[in-house]
Structure 1
Amino acid sequence: MTEGSGRNGLSLLNPPGLYDPAPNGYSHVALLPPGARLAFIAGQGGETADGWLSALFCEQVRQALKNLCTAIEAAGGTQQQIAKLTVLIVDHSEARLQVFGEELVHALGRGPKPACTLIPVPRLALDGMLFEVEAVVLLDEV
């Protein structure tokens, strides 16, 4: 079993008998300690602070992950404390999965990745929006 442990007792696990998800940017299991304090980060799209949205998928992914990190930091957490991601991709393809994986490494580093569910969707909230990501984050105790 491959395992990674982060701050606050967050353990990311890939049990024997399941394929290695690391190349696709996630872990099968995120185990939180008893009494964990969590932050739930709403879906972040690729809009800049002034509302601009690129038409390019790769730029939307990069900006959405940047927005996610900004929200996590505002909650008092770090990228290494992400327990679970939910990713929504319009017109999902293997090529878009590869872009997401590359941008995730850029945003979170090369270590173990959080548990993740990717959901292909036909459309998101705004016209032109191609990517959205939300997170559950394990925070430090108060």
Structure 2
Amino acid sequence: MSRTTNHLLIGGLIMIMAASTVAPVNANDSRLTIVNPKTLYDPSPNGYSTAVIMPAGARVAYISGQGGQDSTGGLSPDFAVQVKQAYANLRAALDALGARPDKVAKLTVFVVDHDMSKLGVLTQSAKEMFGETLPAQTLVPVPKLAIDPMLFEVEAIVMLE
């Protein structure tokens, strides 16, 4: 057996073993399955989930980073205002796709000059938008974004029906 085939087989076995720790998913179910393993820290109080499984055959859309610009392109100098506006912009993009927040599988958020004082704003905004259906999420601290006054940006991967 070639080394490549061996690696593929081992990888497949690992995936099968990992999948066995997740509750079975109904093949006809069109919902996202949230996975927060009991052996890991529970991230839900912080506004996100460890992993999210999309059902087989789901159509996927990728939403570009949404910043805190209002409809005129203006940016508030306040971090919390920018975060609130960025999530409103994300919601507008979801609406344009015919998607709901509970269909967002993954977020990546970019925070300029991140520090722990910003986590409360981020957590509250995510919980307000997603409720109990918290997507998987990664926070990336950055020194700056595309436009100098930008302090926050959020991109999303969403399941379409």
Letter of the 1:120 counterpart: P
More helix, by proportion: 2
- Which residue matches 2:108? 86
Post-superposition Cα deviations, 1:52-85, rounded to whole Å, max 9, x if no partner, equal 1000000000000000010011011011100000
Which structure is richer in relative contact order (CA contacts within 8 A, separation 6 or more)?
A: 1
Conserved in 2, the CA contact under 8 Å of 1:8 and 1:139? no
Residue 38 of structure 1 and its aligned partner are, at CA, apart by 0.7
SS at the partner of 2:30?
Answer: helix
- Which residue matches 2:32? 10
Letter of the 1:52 counterpart: G
- Which residue matches 1:36? 58
Letter of the 1:103 counterpart: S
Distance in 2 separating the partners of 1:78 and 1:136 = 12
Hey, which bits of structure 1, 4+ residues long, moved more than 3 A?
none
Distance in 1 separating the partners of 2:30 and 2:89 = 23
Q: TM-score, with normalisation over the residues of structure 2? A: 0.80
Unaligned runs of at least 5 residues, structure 1: none
Distance in 2 separating the partners of 1:125 and 1:91 = 14
Residue 112 of structure 1 and its aligned partner are, at CA, apart by 3.1
Letter of the 1:112 counterpart: T
With over 3 angstroms needed to count, the CA separation of the structure-2 counterparts of 1:61 and 1:2, relative to structure 1, is: farther
Distance in 2 separating the partners of 1:131 and 1:2 = 33
Q: TM-score, with normalisation over the residues of structure 1? A: 0.91
Unaligned runs of at least 5 residues, structure 2: 1-20
Letter of the 1:72 counterpart: L
Distance in 2 separating the partners of 1:112 and 1:77 = 14
Count residues in correspondence.
Answer: 137
- Which residue matches 1:106? 128
- Give 1:63-74 correspondences, 5 Å limit: 63-74=85-96
Q: Is 1:45 matched with 2:48?
A: no
